[in-house]
Amino acid sequence: MSHHRHDYKTCDCENKTMVDGGTAYLRHGGVDMNKVVSTPVYLDEPFEKVRHFAKRGARGKNGDQPLTWIPISELSNNHLAAILEYGGADWHLKLIAQEISYRKLHGIEIADKEV
């Protein structure tokens, strides 16, 4: 999975499958394109699906950890609230707000992980 425009990834497989472009564009390839399966997820798909693929980059509570990409469906409720307070791209903040509404509707509470 490519997370942003310049996030070029290649697997170690014999086919050297690659992906690039993040949310800006989709580029993929490999030695044998018959072995490459592209499965993009778009924002207009059902939210139940989107919430597991839309991710947020995080560096830990203090900002001193390596960058990890976490599906919004796995972020704590406090983390989601902090993202809305911090700000970001409009499309991403709409997804975060949608996740908060989804959790309220379905009674989902995810607590902060103990460090």
pTM (2 decimals)? Answer: 0.79
* Confidence check: pLDDT of 115 > 60: no
DSSP string, the chain: ---STT--EE-SSTT--EEE-TTT--EEE-SSGGG-------TTS-HHHHHHH-EEEE--TTS-SPPEEEEGGGS-HHHHHHHHHH---HHHHHHHHHHHHHHHHHT---PPPP-
* Confidence check: pLDDT of 98 > 70: yes
Q: What is the pLDDT of residues 9-68, one digit of tens each?
A: 899 999 999 999 887 888 989 999 999 888 888 889 999 999 999 999 989 888 899 999
